[in-house]
Amino acid sequence: MGEYPVLAIVHSCCYMGMETHFVRVEVDVSPGLPCFNIVGLPNPAVRESTERVRSAIKNSGFDFPLRRITVNLAPADIRKEGALFDLPIAIGILIATKQLTSEKLEHVVTVGELSLDGSICPVPGILLMAANIAKSNSEKVFVVPKDNLEEASLISGIKVFGGHHLQEVIGYLQGKGDLQHQTGNLEKLRKKLFDNDEVDVGLDFSDIKGQKQAKRALEIAAAGGHNILLVGPPGTGKTMLAKRLPSILPPLTWDECLEVSKIYSLAGLLPKNNPIIFSRPFRSPHHTASPGSIIGGGKNPRPGEISLATHGVLFLDELPEFHRDVLEALRQPLEEKIVTITRTSGSFSYPANFILVGAMNPCP
């Protein structure tokens, strides 16, 4: 039995609300009864990573040490969510057991969820983390799951690489292989945004016959970013009118696209092959929705419908049917255009800058 005096340090990243923080993943492997502990305020999903990492290392052809493994996620005062530390933890264990030596590691920031066979699954929030790394103006390389590569490459100023298997990433760190790299995505997408032919026109305002007054009201709301309430008997086209409001809003600017895409990235809703939102969001939650789903929150805080509707339209059809809690909770975000959710684990802010469209019948 050899000694393992190496303390491995792997750089990673996490998010809290719309903020991101660098995380240092420290792995210590020392003699003792075999055990695998993660400290540093991990939530249950992070703690489960022990099982995934163990299997992934074994199934990728490396040895999993039967020793006392301690993983520290520093700084310890930030709550760590999700499965995104699987990859840095696995890399750390391989370094601590001298199965991997790498000079590149100092400049590499990495996140990724491992599956039991060692393949790397996509994680939410990549766009935010990439923006954070680019801002920190250090010479960092961002290694992400391959399915997140397009998303990460939307941010200019950092090098991103995508790996689809633990073995592939280890090969890259050892300098034996290369990972897929992407450039030029940004310019391509930017061009697409300003190329009017490609903008998808779904439901169009011109579908509406007559209704001069309602149309005028919607036009004023669109021009000034005002909230609007449509009142009328069933079948008069309230739902129809509201759904066509995004078609008369101006196109998103590039910065707005990025902001909306960041929120969708956090919620894990970005499409994989085209990871940017070009069109104004239109969200129409059902009236049975809970306050948490509308405002945001939950155990692992996620942006709610009001944040997903940022720079677009939040449509509450049958407004009086919504729970009172939901309607009351809308008051503050409507005024402040931002929502702050406070939980024992910390407080999280999300943008909530939307046009509210309500529809109701005159008598409930």
Ligand X SMILES: Nc1ncnc2c1ncn2[C@@H]1O[C@H](COP(=O)(O)OP(=O)(O)O)[C@@H](O)[C@H]1O
| Distances, alpha carbon 275 to alpha carbons 105, 189, 200, 254, in Å | 28, 10, 16, 14
Instruction: Give the number of other Cβ atoms within 10 Å of residue 35's Cβ.
Output: 11
What the block records as the tokens of 91 is 């890399």
239 binds ligand X (CB under 6 A): yes
Strand 19-30 and strand 68-74: pairing? Answer: antiparallel
Phi then psi for residue 326, to 5 deg, are -65, -50
What the block records as the tokens of 205 is 């305002």
- Kindly give the interhelix angle for 166-173 and 86-96, rounded to the nearest 10 degrees: 50
Q: Smallest gap, in angstroms, from Cβ of residue 238 to Mg ion?
A: 5
Q: Smallest gap, in angstroms, from Cβ of residue 290 to Mg ion?
A: 22
Q: Which of 224, 234, 250, 364 binds ligand X (CB under 6 A)?
A: 234
211 binds Mg ion (CB under 5 A): no
Q: Which of 240, 267, 334, 338 binds ligand X (CB under 6 A)?
A: 240
Span 225-244, contacts to Mg ion by CB under 5 A: 239
**DSSP assigned state of 42:** B
Q: Tokens 């402040």 identify what position?
A: 336
With respect to ligand X, which residue has the nearer C-beta, 111 or 214? Answer: 214
From the list 87-95, 99-107, 232-240, 274-282, the region that binds ligand X by CB under 6 A is: 232-240
Q: Report angle CA 52, 55, 60 to the nearest 5 degrees.
A: 120
From the list 56-64, 137-145, 209-217, 254-262, the region that binds ligand X by CB under 6 A is: 209-217
Q: Smallest gap, in angstroms, from Cβ of residue 224 to ligand X?
A: 23
Q: Smallest gap, in angstroms, from Cβ of residue 232 to ligand X?
A: 6
Q: Smallest gap, in angstroms, from Cβ of residue 327 to Mg ion?
A: 18
- Four-residue CA torsion sign, 231, 232, 233, 239: negative
Footprint of Mg ion (CB under 5 A): 239
Give the binding site for ligand X (CB under 6 A). Answer: 208-211, 232, 234-240, 359
